[in-house]
Structure 1
Amino acid sequence: MKCPSLFIAFVIGISFTALGQKINDTYRLDIQKASSEILVDGILDERAWLEADVAADFFMITPMDTSFSQVRTEVRMTYDDENLYIIAVNHHAMEGDYIVQSLRRDFSFGQNDNFIFFMDPFDDQTNGFSFGANAAGAQWDGLMSNGNQMDLSWDNKWTSKVRNYEDKWVFEASIPFKTLRYKPGITEWGINFSRLDLKTTEKSGWAPVPRQFPSSTLAYTGVLAWDNPPPKAGTNISIIPYVLGGATKDFESEGGTIYKREIGMDAKIGLTSSLNLDLTINPDFSQVEVDEQVTNLDRFELFFPERRQFFLENGDLFGNFGYSRIRPFFSRRIGLNAPIQFGARLSGKLNKDWRIGAMNIQTGEVEEELRPAENFTVMSLQRQVGARSNITGIFVNKQSINYTPPEGDSLQAFTQFNRNLGLEYNLATSNNLWTGKAMVLKSWSPDGSGNGFVHAANLNYRSGNLEWEWSHEYVSDNYTAEVGFVPRRGYYRINPETQYTFFPKSEKLLSHGPSVGTSFFFNTKGVQTDNTTFLFYNFRWRSQSRFTIWGGYDYVLLQRPFDPTNSGKEQLPAGTEASWFAWGTEYNSKPQSLFTYSFSTRSGGYYEDGSRYNIQTELGYRFQPYVAIAMSTNYNRIVMPEPWNTTSFWLVGPRIDVTMTNTLFLTTFIQYNEQIDNINLNARFQWRFKPASDLFIVYTDNNLPQPFGVKNRSLVLKFTYWWNV
């Protein structure tokens, strides 16, 4: 373990040598208490706005980061005893209509004219909030973690208005202090403002951000300087009850219709302005958008992100520990096969340097599966060190209640407990050029079969032209995380990658350059089991269209049987070796057009000296800002010797977003998945009749294509109301 020790010492050394003054500390916007009442109407006419300090002279981020923006933006902020206010005047630089997809909430950043701002209330350059809107008034809000990561599933209470003029569009918003988390007495917050104007293809920011980083990077925020400490949020208790009615029928089992009549409640209690307690009783998540189906040719489980509101605030304290393939805690494991009865979650800042997360959730017994009631406990403690780095410890416990595993192999057995304990160091230098992570994990199970160990680390360097990364992972054979996401065990992995980007002096081409990497897997006996080596060449035009061509080599030594079509055919035995070359392309059209399209292709070898061909397309058209239509297709053709022969399957589906206003939405998608022989229809209607209060109607239908027949069908009506005590 000498090499990992040297690696950890190296990244810690980088962290502490990067201490220094905040990069954009000289960019300061003064905020003073409003001298008049503010009406959120998109009109800059109140005396308080005329007296407010102005943030202007934005810097261009793309296509170049060496000059001021050509698109003028002016921002003012003020506050009163209850709310923080912001108004942004977004001037046009060219004639023509604004460009947006729809009025859909939490829109795609790169496909909408938008104004977004990023707040760091603790000025720790690591965690914060993001709010904004596109030019048609669709809202954007998200939680920020790890310096620039954005979770747009978070939803909270605030109001905004966008008003369009011939030469500009104006965004105005009111954000209750109760919606935010901040330390009492602090008079300087980190803040930055971002503007994307697709007509000029220009992205800009008030405090300058190098173009290799997202405009949301908190390392490059300026300062919001308060005339007095922000007012205390006062009593901050929100009760969010729901009532639900619905019906479900399983036609395959020929059972009767099951009717649902449920009530439940969430509560948010602000213990301090930076520490929050979330409670839930009999939660229901039927309004959460259904995961769209994907074609699966992978040997391992696929990952789908968490979308349920209860798990989101400060979710990085729990879910960001580890890597994409090594997560000791994955909240979607909870409530997957058993109903959640109640839960509590404490999370937030203790002070500028310490954050805490503690969660306890109880699920009910499922008699027909002999599944016992289970309790889930997660505890996390994080300490900021160096410039923007931190050390995090985590403990995860899954405990079966009053349960003894049955004797006999024929009976379903559940473990009495599974526990994980981990420590992680996250590196982020003050200028964000160096980032990385190093972690260790230990697991325990009652009979010792789940006692295992994990070590993993990575180091990334990202300058204007050059980016490179080294990462390695070790997961022991017996490591077990029953409440985590660890689809593969018993391996070592090393993965170096590098990329170089050229920025030519061209009126049309923005950048181009190669990226190359390789990933080697070895089992715990040191035998190589996998290798993927790739070479990409990327082109990006000023219009924001993109094209990539790539080539790659794959080698696989199967560790367990696998059906290479994932469609129920013959399995290749463990020990099978396969290698092949493949190549492909990817293209995304410019987002300014009403008609947009993208495609990707793949052609090359496959298992048993076979071949695999894949083409994916997406066509989109928008009747802005009210309707956006997209049609996606994914076709795979696998040619192999007997007994597999030729296997081909489609995944096809249209998606229609109808946004009648920025509070009234209808989303419908249909998918035909030939691989699993299913047609899925999901329609979701949402009426936000008050901020964070909604009426949902959700219809889901699954069908067998040939001969056509209904598998199951459900209809849910749900009403939620956000009530501030």
Structure 2
Amino acid sequence: MKKLLPYLFLIFSLPSFAQKINESFQYHIKPTHSKIRIDGILDDEAWKNTETGKDFWMMTPMDTSLSHVPTEVKLTYDDNFLYVSAICYEQVKNKGFVVESLKRDFSFGNNDNLWLILEPFNDLTNGFVFGVNAAGAQFDGIISEGTNLNANWDNKWHSETKYHGDHWTFEAAIPFKTLRYKAGETRWGINFSRLDLKSGEKSTWAKIPRQYFSITLAYTGVLIWDTPPPTPKNNISVIPYTLGGMSKNFQDGSATTFRKDFGLDAKIAVSSALNLDLTINPDFSQVDVDKQVTNLSRFELFFPERRQFFLENADLFNNFGLSSIRPFFSRRIGLGVPIDYGARLSGKINNNLRIGAMNIQTGINSAENRPAQNFSALVLQQKVFKRSNIGLMMLNKQSLNYDANINKDFSDYNRNIGLEYNLASSSNLWLGKAMYLKSYSPNVKNDDYVSAFNVFYNGLTFNGSVQYEYVGKNYNPEIGYVPRTGYHKVNIPIQYNIYTQTPSSKIQYHAPAIASYAYWNTDKVMTDLQNQFYYIVALKDRSSFYAFYETNYIRLPFAFDPTNEGNKYLLAEGSEHRFNTFNVNYLSTPRKRYTFGFTGTYGGYYGNGKLLSLSGDVGYRFQPYVSLSANINYVSIEDVKVPVKDQADQILKSKFWLVSPKIDITFTNRLFWTTFIQYNEQVQNVNINSRVQWRYKPASDIFLVYTDNYIPGNLNIKNRAIVLKLTYWWNL
């Protein structure tokens, strides 16, 4: 290790010189000395002598010409705010806009909208998104690794829109306190992305090839400040909450439990680029309920983090590793036990070095004999070359006052260390990763590491990748997400896109594709081989269809219930299974108020059984105020043969439904009511979650959340809860 230190120091000291691909796209921003009223009406004096950004480039369906749907944007600033305005003209006039609702953080592809992409560090890898749909619903998010968008990030800013028949206007004020940037920097990355569903065009101010996302930071233009943007003083925000509520467990007959709680979060800008988040007695009862899915796999499913405390610079922690090898997964913290307090320091130390440091303390759960536990994480990420980086992660989970006799279901400690290199070429054509992870647990001394790498090629007509993973059978990330251990894996997907050149064609592109996934255990015996043969058709109205044929070979590494319903008869460890399936998927155009999608799978299954899985999504919009949707999933498993020692073979079969209707009512872009019902026969539960949110001030909310859980069939109630919560964002 001592021999490596000089080389690590050299790498972490490397400067980066990133010449922008879109250097010629420049916007010169100047300050305003007159007041701007954020009302969506662009008649303020400040806009009259401001540079106009226009001549947007079409990104889809073609990327070789200027957009047919004009957009004009302007920016200015004062001591406190960055101001943005836009005029979004329409090719199809007086037909109204296409939006889902007025709800915050809408889906980009289902709304007429405009996004501002900001890259304050000019590093081509990290940035912010602020946008609106044509009805005025807000969207904000953070970008990491050049293209990864986290829409769960939520912050304080102001905006309004107005619809005029042949165009709509947008006006916003973004506080400098909301942004993170290097003091004194006069060059930021910037782009605008617009989607007009009626014409079928997606366009950007700075040109981006159509195979990439419109938020791809490798293609941002340049925002040139005449003087450095102001550095906010006393950038401290305190966000207290108070709540009251009650809950009752009807199954155990216990008395109603009443809640009266108080806590707070704080955001302290250590510098304009480095932020300290603090939390005391946090509560996350208002967070959207997870969408349930049918699980026929042998492994745990992944659900994303939604809690605000964990979201600032979340990529530093959550993007370390691969999608199925995550040494850190914040949802492991506070699972079944309250968080007492926590602190997160995250951001940039300089233009090339980012840091993420976290410490969280949880309480005791006497019912589970769970001790108090402390969670610590440290991540350093050094930019190298133009857009690549090297990351170092150290994790520690420590039980306090641990007693092996009392706390035997929990470990004394668990530690992880990881090193990774993330490759990103200047044009985003090549991406990749190489990493090494090692865990430290009591009484474990071997085969407790991970090594993996991948390389992606993202060409216009051809794209593909190669990925290799090795996960030791004793690798143990207790605060991570690694559903499978003890294997080697190789996967190779390849796709060839054929773009239509005829303007009148309804098809944007069609593509044959193949993918192969192979697993071996640590004894190098193959346990899984999956081959997929695809055909994909994408239409210019943003509808799509694909079909694929899949072949499977599985040698079970452990006994398995193929219905995932808790059957006592299990397919044996080491048993071999071969089956094939045919799969189709269709997604309709989002232009129409009625939308639908369909997914179907039919074919073989474990134990020479048969599988039929049908899933449909339907929706209708009374835009912009009401959105109705439902997911209906039906699964039929037949004739699964399970050998049983000294008995006749057992034949398993199962049929179950997952039905999830959802009603979104958005009275205004500040008052929302969402009701989500989930009838899930596989897990024997019916859940009703109804949430009212009133954003009475920017980033300040009142929530009323009602939750019920029932037993399917007789609909006997399991438990019920109601919570009223008030939060207030207070800038000091």
Q: 1:667 aligns with which of 649, 661, 674?
A: 674
Question: How many residue pairs align between the two structures?
Answer: 707
2:519 is matched with: 521
Instruction: Find out whether 1:597 has 2:604 as its counterpart.
Output: no
Which residue among 83, 86, 90 is the counterpart of 2:84? Answer: 86
SS of residue matched to 2:633: strand
Summarize deviations over 1:581-603 as a string: whole Å, max 9, x none: 11111001111111111101101
The aligned residue for residue 248 of structure 1 is: 247
Partner of 2:713: 706
Residue 5 of structure 2 corresponds to: none
Hey, what's the Cα distance between the residues in 2 that align with 1:644 and 1:650? 21
1:157 lines up with 2:153 in the alignment: no
Alignment counterpart, residue 423 of structure 1, candidates 419, 440, 453: 419
2:367 paired residue number: 368
Q: Which amino acid is the alignment partner of residue 651 of structure 1? A: L
Return closer, same or farther for 1:702/1:450 CA change in 2, 3 Å cut-off. farther
Q: Deviations over 1:124-151 (max 9, x none)?
A: 0100100000000000000110101111
For 1:50, the equivalent position in structure 2 comes to 48
- Contact residue 450 and residue 480 of structure 1 kept, 8 A: no
Q: Is the 8 A contact 1:358 1:379 kept in 2?
A: yes
Map Cα deviations across residues 1-50 of structure 1 (whole Å, 9 max, x no partner).
xxxxxxxxxxx9xxx9x976210011000100013111111111122211
Counterpart secondary structure, 1:33: coil
TM-score, normalisation: structure 2: 0.95
Q: CA deviation at 1:373?
A: 0.4
Q: SS where residue 20 of structure 2 aligns?
A: coil
Provide, for residues 546-601 of structure 1, a one-character-per-residue CA deviation record: whole Å limited to 9, x for no partner. 01011011111001110000012211110110011111110011111111111011
Deviations 1:456-500 (A, max 9, x none): 110001111110100000000100000000110000000111101
Match of 1:682 in 2: 689
Is 1:464–2:471 an aligned residue pair?
no
Instruction: Compute the displacement of 1:404 (Å).
Output: 2.6
The 5 Å alignment of 1:645-664 reads 645-664=652-671
Residue 310 of structure 1 pairs with residue 309 of structure 2? yes
Find the counterpart in structure 2 of residue 487 from structure 1.
Answer: 483
How far apart in 2 are the matches of 1:724 and 1:120?
24
Q: Say whether the 8 Å CA contact 2:399–2:412 is kept in structure 1.
A: yes
- Give how far 1:370 is off: 1.2
Where does residue 731 of structure 2 map in the other structure? 724
State whether residues 578 and 609 of structure 1, in contact with CA within 8 Å, keep that contact through their aligned partners in structure 2.
Answer: yes
Shift of 1:402: 1.4
C-alpha deviation, 1:676, in angstroms: 1.4
Structure 2: where are the runs of 5+ without partners?
Answer: 1-10, 642-648
Supply the distance in 2 between the matched residues of 1:253 and 1:561 (Cα, whole angstroms): 32
Alignment of 1:153-552 (within 5 A): 153-406=152-405, 412-448=408-444, 452-506=448-502, 507=504, 508-552=506-550
Q: Does 1:40 align with 2:44?
A: no
Distance 2:447 2:312 in 1: 31
Shift of 1:632: 1.1
On the 8 A contact 1:297/1:566 being kept in 2, the answer is yes
For residue 76 of structure 1, the aligned residue among 55, 74, 77 is: 74
Contact 1:547 1:588 in 2 (8 A): yes
Match in the other structure for 1:8: none
Residue 449 of structure 1 deviates from its aligned partner by 6.1
Worse-superposed segment, 641-650 or 213-222 = 641-650
Deviation at 1:434, TM superposition (A): 0.3
Q: CA deviation at 1:514?
A: 1.0
Residue 461 of structure 1 aligns with an amino acid whose one-letter code is Y
1:87-132 deviations in Å (ceiling 9; x for gaps): 0110111121110010011101111000001100000010010000
Equivalent residue letter for 2:246 = A
What per-residue deviation string (whole Å, max 9, x for no partner) do you get for residues 275-300 of structure 1? 00000000000000010211111100
Q: Secondary structure at the match of 1:404?
A: coil
Q: Partners of 1:705 and 1:612 in 2: how far apart?
A: 23
Distance in 1 of aligned mates of 2:136 and 2:334: 35
3-state SS in 2 of match to 1:368: helix
CA distance in 2, matches of 1:355, 1:499: 35
8 Å CA contact 2:637, 2:655 repeated in 1: yes
Q: Is the 8 A contact 2:287 2:306 kept in 1?
A: yes
Give the counterpart letter for 1:313 in structure 2: E
Aligned to 2:8: none
Distance 2:279 2:550 in 1: 48
Q: Distance in 1 between matches of 2:426 and 2:653?
A: 54
- Aligned-partner Cα distance in 2 for 1:568–1:257: 31
What does residue range 10-29 of structure 1 map to in structure 2 within 5 Å? Answer: 21-29=19-27
Opposite residue 712 of structure 2, the aligned amino acid is: P
Give, in angstroms, the shift of residue 368 of structure 1.
Answer: 1.8
Structure 1 residues 371 and 449: alpha-carbon distance in aligned structure 2, compared to 1, 3 A threshold: farther
Shift of residue 391 of structure 1? Answer: 0.3
Letter of the 2:262 partner, please give it. I
Alpha-carbon distance in 1 for matches of 2:337, 2:445: 24
Output the CA distance in 1 between the equivalents of 2:218 and 2:251: 55
- CA apart distance, 1:502: 0.5
Whole-Å Cα distance in 2 between the matches of residues 128 and 20 of structure 1?
15
Checking the alignment, whether the CA contact within 8 Å between 2:112 and 2:196 is kept in structure 1 is yes
TM-score (norm 1): 0.96
Q: CA deviation at 1:406?
A: 1.3
CA contact (8 A) 2:119 2:190 kept: yes
TM-fit CA distance, 1:209:
0.2
**Is contact 1:444-1:451 (8 Å) kept?**
no
Give the match's secondary structure for 1:645.
strand
Using the TM superposition, give the Cα deviation of residue 644 of structure 1 relative to its aligned residue in structure 2, in angstroms.
3.7
Other structure's SS at 1:199 match: coil
**SS of equivalent residue, structure 1 residue 48:** helix
- Using the TM superposition, name which of 603-612 and 639-648 deviates more: 639-648
Structure 1 residues 449 and 706, CA gap change in structure 2 (3 angstroms):
farther
Q: Partners in 2 of 1:138 and 1:701 — Cα distance? A: 29
Q: Is the 8 A contact 2:18 2:123 kept in 1?
A: no
CA distance, structure 2, for counterparts of residue 463 and residue 366 of structure 1: 52
Q: Distance between the aligned counterparts of 1:373 and 1:590, measured in 2?
A: 51
Contact 2:96–2:165 (Cα < 8 Å) also in 1:
no
Instruction: Give the corresponding residue for 1:66.
Output: 64
- The answer to whether the 8 Å contact 1:442/1:451 transfers is no
- Gaps spanning 5+ residues in structure 1: where? 1-11
SS at match of 2:547: strand
C-alpha change, 1:522 and 1:432, in structure 2 (3 Å) is same
Q: Is the 8 A contact 1:445 1:451 kept in 2?
A: no
Residue aligning to 2:116: 117
Question: d(CA) in 2 for partners of 1:644 and 1:152?
Answer: 45
AA at the equivalent of 1:180: L
Distance 1:105 1:535, change over 3 A: same
Percent of aligned pairs sharing the same letter: 52
One-letter identity of the residue aligned with 1:202: E
Match for 1:638: what amino acid?
Answer: I
Secondary structure in structure 1 of the residue aligned to 2:667? strand
Alpha-carbon separation, structure 1, partners of 2:627 and 2:319: 33
Indicate which of 693, 700, 705 corresponds to 2:700.
693
- Following the alignment from structure 1 to structure 2, what is the Cα–Cα distance between the partners of residues 257 and 576? 49
Q: Contact 1:192–1:222 at 8 Å: present in 2 too?
A: yes
